């Protein structure tokens, strides 16, 4: 069994639950406030750890209260944090999140210490053959590029969750084994939206460089190009409460499954279940399911196929 190495962001999520999201220039009052651990990197690291993987986190936080709290969160989940740097005079990353009554969200991020990550950190990614390197786009692109290249050199499986999307990330895709994007991110990488994410769209994404592609479709499940064929899986039937963190649950559990030796289909199934469970509870890290919950819900996905 390999490890999951996550090179990514570590944030604090400041969440307001509100009846509806405001329009530009509008104030909506009456919400409830809470603080959660967040950042796509940390979320995915914790998702992988809860799914049973051995996980190491590489990233940056400030020498402030938020940074100390987020390190403690990771350590409580069993994530190795020796690769997380604490930086003096820099604020830890913060995300401001509004969530409406239907579970839809609006997110603004102050990257802080995350944007102090260096290319050297990516080049030193401590992975080996059999490991899975999991990266996102909340760190500077040169750092992500260095991490992906290091993973390929050392024989690790390189997964890029190209979120939040940056069209310039297309240049990184030849070093990616598995690309994970949602419909909007897929459209931005291709330069045009499609009426449907079909086999042709998946092949166009694969033509950018990655060997395999997964497009998450929210309540419609996922579409997959496995390198030879296109196929789909439905979503886990659930009633959504908060969609924050669902994609991170999918990515982390997908990586954990691949590190454990599952094939792509088996790992995707577990990721779909994890994403479905995550939307049934509030918050990002607080919503990430444990391995036993995922295994118990796999039968529900089978009945939906």
Number of domains in the chain: 1
Q: Write the pLDDT tens digit of every residue in 48-92.
A: 999 999 999 999 999 999 999 999 999 999 999 999 999 999 999
Read off the pLDDT of each residue in 176-191 and give the average, rounded to a whole number: 95
Catalytic residue among 64, 73, 175, 248: 248
Mean pLDDT computed over 32-39: 91
Parent domain of 201: 4-22+31-304
pLDDT at 228 over 90: yes
φ, ψ (nearest 5 deg) of residue 118: -115, 160
Classify strands 55-62 and 32-38 as parallel, antiparallel or unpaired: unpaired
Residue pair 254/216 in contact (Cβ under 8 Å)? The answer is no
Q: Which residue has the higher pLDDT, 95 or 157?
A: 157
Enter the DSSP assignment of 282. S
**pLDDT class of 227 with cuts at 50, 70, 90:** very high
Least confident range of 63-72, 132-141, 226-235, 237-246: 237-246
Higher pLDDT, 273 or 103: 273
pLDDT at residue 304 in the model: 65
Report the distance separating Cα 191 and Cα 174, nearest Å: 18
This prediction has a pTM of 0.93
Return the pLDDT at 305. 64
DSSP state of 124: T
H or E stretch at 54? none
Active site residue 100: no
CATH number of domain containing 152: 3.40.1190.20
Confidence (pLDDT) at 245:
87
């Amino acid at each position: 069994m390999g490890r999951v190495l996550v090179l990514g962001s570590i944030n604090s999520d400041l969440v307001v639950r509100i009846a509806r999201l405001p329009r530009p220039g509008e104030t909506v009052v009456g919400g409830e406030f809470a603080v959660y651990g967040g950042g796509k990197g940390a979320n995915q690291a914790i998702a992988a750890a809860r799914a049973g993987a051995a996980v190491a986190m590489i990233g940056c936080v400030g020498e402030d209260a938020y940074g100390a709290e987020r390190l403690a969160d990771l350590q409580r989940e069993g994530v190795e944090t020796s690769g997380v740097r604490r930086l003096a005079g820099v604020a830890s990353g913060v995300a401001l999140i509004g969530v409406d009554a239907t579970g839809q969200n609006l997110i603004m991020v102050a990257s802080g210490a995350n944007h102090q990550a260096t290319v050297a950190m990516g080049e030193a990614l401590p992975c080996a053959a059999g490991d899975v390197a999991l990266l996102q786009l909340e760190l500077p692109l040169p750092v992500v590029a260095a991490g992906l290249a290091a993973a390929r050199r050392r024989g690790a499986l390189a997964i890029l969750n190209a979120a939040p999307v940056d069209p310039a990330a297309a240049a990184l895709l030849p070093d990616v084994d598995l690309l994970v994007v949602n419909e909007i991110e897929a459209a931005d990488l291709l330069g045009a939206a499609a009426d449907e994410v079909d086999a042709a769209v998946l092949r166009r994404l694969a033509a950018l460089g990655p060997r395999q592609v997964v497009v998450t479709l929210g309540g419609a499940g996922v579409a997959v190009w496995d390198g030879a064929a296109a196929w789909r899986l439905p979503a886990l039937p659930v009633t959504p409460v908060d969609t924050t963190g669902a994609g991170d649950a999918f990515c982390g559990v997908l990586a954990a499954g691949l590190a454990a030796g599952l094939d792509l289909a088996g790992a995707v199934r577990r990721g779909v279940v994890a994403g479905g469970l995550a939307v049934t509870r509030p918050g990002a890290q607080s919503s990430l399911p444990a391995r036993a919950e995922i295994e118990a819900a796999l039968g529900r996905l089978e009945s939906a196929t």
